[in-house]
Amino acid sequence: MDYTDEIKVEAYLTTTIDPSFSTQLGIYIGAVSRQMDQQAGITLVTDTATTKRYDGSGQAILTIDPVLGISEVIISDVATTVTAYPANTDVKHELVLASGYFPKGLQNVAVTGYHSRFATTVPDDIAFAATVLVAGIVQGIKEQRQGVKSETVGKYSVTYLDDKQRADFEMAQQIINSYRRIVC
């Protein structure tokens, strides 16, 4: 899922992007969105429910990747009712069986839901971060003059002409890092 669009990038840069560049811009937008997910260590936003499989632990509690809106849990080919935790948040990362245990096994627990931090709607801060990063790539292509400041985000170089754009880049990095998944 793309976290920004051409309209937002144009508004940020206060310019109109040539229509002949739209296809390439779409490629940059997709690449930046994927890079943000990679940097955060989690899919930030998705609009598609998917099924992920986990190894049964032999315990009553099973740790899973963050998921929203669990629609189905299947254990050893049998639909099962579980309680998802933490109870006070939308994003769940543990499943608990009221009685019994998740049977030990390879890929024998299937969880269907939105495997991301947010579902269907891109939050404003994530859209802002993506817009700033894509605008930096566009700026780097447009401006090849002295005084331009460049940064690298993943495989891409982003360019900023002034301190405000530089500050926005730093804020974009802070936003992405605030969603970083810590894996123990």
Residue 172 inside a domain? The answer is: yes
| All residues at 6 or more sequence positions from 79 whose CB lies less than 8 Å from its CB, including other chains | 72, 73
Tell whether 135 and 115 lie within a shared domain. no
Is it the case that residue 12 has pLDDT exceeding 90?
A: yes
161-171 pLDDT, tens per residue? Answer: 677 877 888 88
Tell whether 173 and 134 lie within a shared domain. yes
Range 33-44 average pLDDT: 92
Q: Find the domain containing 93 and state its range.
A: 48-119
pTM, full prediction: 0.77
Range 141-165 average pLDDT: 63
Domain end call among 76, 92, 119: 119
pLDDT confidence of residue 177: 86
Q: Which of 56, 50, 126 is nearest to 97 (CA)?
A: 56
- What total of structural domains would you count in the chain? 2
pLDDT confidence of residue 11: 96
